[in-house]
Amino acid sequence: MLYLIGTGLYYLTDMPIRAIDKLKKCREIYLERYTNLNDISQLKKLEGSIKKKITLVGREEVESDFIISRAEKAAVALLVPGDPLSATTHVSLLCECKSRGIKFEVLHSSSIFSAIAETGFSLYKFGATCSIPIYTANFKPESFFSVIEENIKAGLHTLVLLEAKDEKNFVSLKSSIETLKSIESKRKLDIINWGETICISRLGSEQRSISPADPFRGNDLPPSCMIIPGKLNQVEVDNSKILLS
């Protein structure tokens, strides 16, 4: 049995209350943080309340047979930051369970994909999402910019996620702005409305920061993302002025 449980937008304690009873039934409980650096300061308190050990796992364990092989033998839970099905990796886990006759249950929770409505931008007007990865000397992709370009052509907003491996190794909002401006200049384009572009950090937490990208004066801590606007309607303009003032 596999329980796929969303822990919510930021705090571990934002998970559904009914998840506690499910966790108490499990032999093994795992928590992944590679899709979102959520706050785990309450981890020990949660372990105490359910009388179970929670083990941190990374991409290697989640994307291999590690979780599924254990779910074949006993009740296992995988705690996922945000909503558990926001990342395709976790959908793949359900498909694998289905093909191997393993029972599963999904407990949904809050996600960045809905929380961004706090900016006043309409969720119905967002196009494809893209991510800016951590650059290395030999890895500097630009494919994410094409997603932004296509969304803007269609008048749609773009949610740009920023990769974060840990609290010290992440794509900062400042560097992502510089990267996007550099690509835009190199391609001889002038398509991003920097005056309306929004930077978001730690949404759902007490350290939440929503600020303009240009000039950027917001919180630069992960987890962070950006919203690059397409064509704003008057309702969005009015709502964002109120909510972001």
Contact (Cβ atoms closer than 8 angstroms) between residue 48 and residue 59: no
d(C-alpha 61, C-alpha 67), whole Å: 7
Alpha-helical (H) ranges within the chain are 19-25, 43-50, 59-62, 66-71, 88-99, 112-115, 143-153, 173-186, 234-243
Q: Are residues 103 and 203 in the same domain?
A: no
Asked if residue 142 and residue 97 are part of one domain, the reply reads no
- Give the domain-ending residue among 110, 135, 167: 110
Tell me: do 104 and 125 sit in the same domain.
Answer: no
Do 176 and 209 sit in the same domain of this protein?
Answer: yes
Residues 70 and 157 in one domain: no
Residues 207 and 101 in one domain: no
Q: Which structural domain, as residue segments, surrounds residue 91?
A: 2-110
Shared domain for 106 and 136, answered yes or no, is: no
pLDDT at position 35 is: 77
Based on the fold, state whether residues 218 and 144 are members of the same structural domain: yes
DSSP state of 8: B
What was the pLDDT predicted at 39? 86
Per-residue pLDDT of the chain (245 residues; tens, 9 = 90+): 999 999 999 999 899 999 999 999 999 999 998 878 888 889 999 999 999 999 999 889 999 999 999 999 999 999 999 999 987 789 999 999 999 999 999 999 999 999 999 999 999 999 999 999 999 999 999 999 999 999 999 999 999 999 998 888 999 999 999 999 999 999 999 999 999 999 999 999 999 999 999 999 999 999 999 999 999 999 999 999 999 88
Q: What is the total count of domains within the chain?
A: 2
Total residues belonging to the chain = 245
For the domain that residue 59 is a member of, what is the CATH number? 3.40.1010.10
Q: What is the pLDDT of residue 241?
A: 92
pLDDT of residue 36: 82
Give the residue among 205, 206, 218, 222 at the shortest CA–CA distance from 244: 218
Angle subtended by helix axes 173-186 and 143-153, to nearest 10: 80
